[in-house]
């Protein structure tokens, strides 16, 4: 397995410049600067409430933010004139809760937004969905309803849905937090497959061993901004900042 490493040869997919977000007087994001290169897997770690989900939701334009800029492959997606649906077709998102429609079969869950929001022709969407479901071991679930699937299978379906538009960036927000521990591995294996296929991924997780094995770069969020960023070895084995050391000691002993 060859890990993708950020280098000058890789184009920048995502760039955050001084992003601030407040909920009332709760100043959650305090000037976040972050760059992600093409094919890079960046994992965001940090204490509960440090703003990881808010960061994800801000990038996908679910949360309005208060200051700063976000560029996607050089395009300012925070310009008020942007077409939000077009931006969202370029960013795949998976949340903690799968949010599949219970009354729709897997194939329809996977193709719905691609057809209705992103304008992909129904037969093209269907062929692509079946191909992806087969690739990720869900080929026999195409016509099932979500309640016939395990939580891990449902989350894999949600990931397939997120990559239907072949997005430039995939945001994965605590995608294993709601799963039975037995089912976490199959979902993380799919993320590993996506990395090996060259996806560009920003992921928030509490799965530290996965972060260590898959991330090209770890971002430690603290005090509303990335306090420390580095390779997994730098962050987990030789953190510079006392806050990083304290966080890691706490989760190790949990």
Ligand X SMILES: Nc1ncnc2c1ncn2[C@@H]1O[C@H](COP(=O)(O)OP(=O)(O)OP(=O)(O)O)[C@@H](O)[C@H]1O
Catalog residues that contact ligand X under the rule CB under 6 A.
23, 26, 28, 46, 48-54, 174
CB closer to ligand X, 164 vs 215 = 215
| Alpha helices, H only, the chain | 52-59, 84-89, 106-116, 122-135, 151-162, 181-196, 208-214, 232, 242-252
Q: Which positions ≥6 away from 93 have C-beta within 8 Å? A: 56, 60, 162, 170, 171, 173
Other C-beta atoms lying within 10 Å of the C-beta of residue 209: 10
Q: What's the token pair of residue 173?
A: 């927000």
Report, in Å, the least distance between residue 220 CB and ligand X. 11
- Intra-chain end-to-end CA distance of the chain, in Å: 32
- Directed axis angle between helix 151-162 and helix 106-116, to 10°? 20
| Beta carbon of residue 7, minimum distance to ligand X (angstroms, whole number) | 29
- Smallest distance, ligand X to C-beta of residue 29, A: 8
* C-beta separation of 176 from 94 below 8 A: no
Nearer to ligand X, 3 or 178 (CB): 178
Q: Using the minimum distance from each CB to ligand X, give the nearer residue, 136 or 247.
A: 247
- Of the pair 173, 186, the CB lying nearest ligand X is at 173
Q: Which is nearer to ligand X, 28 or 149 (CB)?
A: 28
Nearer to ligand X, 157 or 221 (CB): 221
Residue 210 Cβ, how far from ligand X at the closest point, in Å? 15
| Smallest separation (angstroms) from ligand X to the CB of 11 | 28
Rg (CA), the chain: 18
DSSP string, 220-240: EEETTEEEEEE-HIIIIIS--
Taking the complex as a whole, the smallest distance from the CB of residue 44 to ligand X amounts, in Å, to: 8
Q: What is the Cβ-side half-sphere exposure of residue 250, based on CA atoms within 13 angstroms?
A: 11
């Amino acid at each position: 397995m060859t890990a993708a490493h950020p280098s000058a040869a890789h184009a920048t997919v995502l760039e955050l410049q001084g992003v601030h977000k407040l909920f009332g007087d709760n100043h959650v994001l305090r000037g976040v600067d972050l760059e992600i290169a093409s094919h890079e897997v960046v994992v965001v770690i940090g204490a509960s409430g440090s703003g990881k989900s808010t960061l994800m939701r801000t990038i996908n334009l679910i949360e309005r933010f208060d200051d700063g800029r976000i560029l996607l492959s050089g395009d300012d997606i925070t310009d008020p004139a942007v077409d939000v649906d077009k931006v969202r077709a370029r960013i795949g998102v998976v949340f903690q809760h799968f949010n599949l429609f219970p009354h729709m079969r897997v194939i329809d869950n996977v193709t719905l937004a691609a057809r209705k929001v992103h304008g992909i022709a129904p037969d093209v969407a269907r062929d692509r969905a079946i191909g992806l479901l087969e690739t990720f071991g869900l080929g026999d679930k195409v016509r099932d309803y979500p309640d016939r699937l395990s939580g891990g299978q449902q989350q894999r379906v949600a990931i397939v849905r997120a990559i239907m538009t072949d997005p430039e960036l995939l945001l994965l927000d605590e995608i294993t937090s709601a799963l039975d521990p037995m089912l976490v591995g199959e979902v993380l294996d799919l993320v590993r497959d996506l990395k090996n296929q060259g996806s560009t991924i920003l992921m928030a997780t509490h799965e530290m061993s996965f972060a260590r094995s898959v991330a090209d770069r770890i971002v430690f969020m603290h005090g509303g901004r990335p306090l420390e960023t580095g390779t997994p070895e730098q962050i987990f084995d030789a953190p510079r900042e006392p806050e990083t050391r304290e966080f890691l000691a706490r989760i190790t002993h949990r």
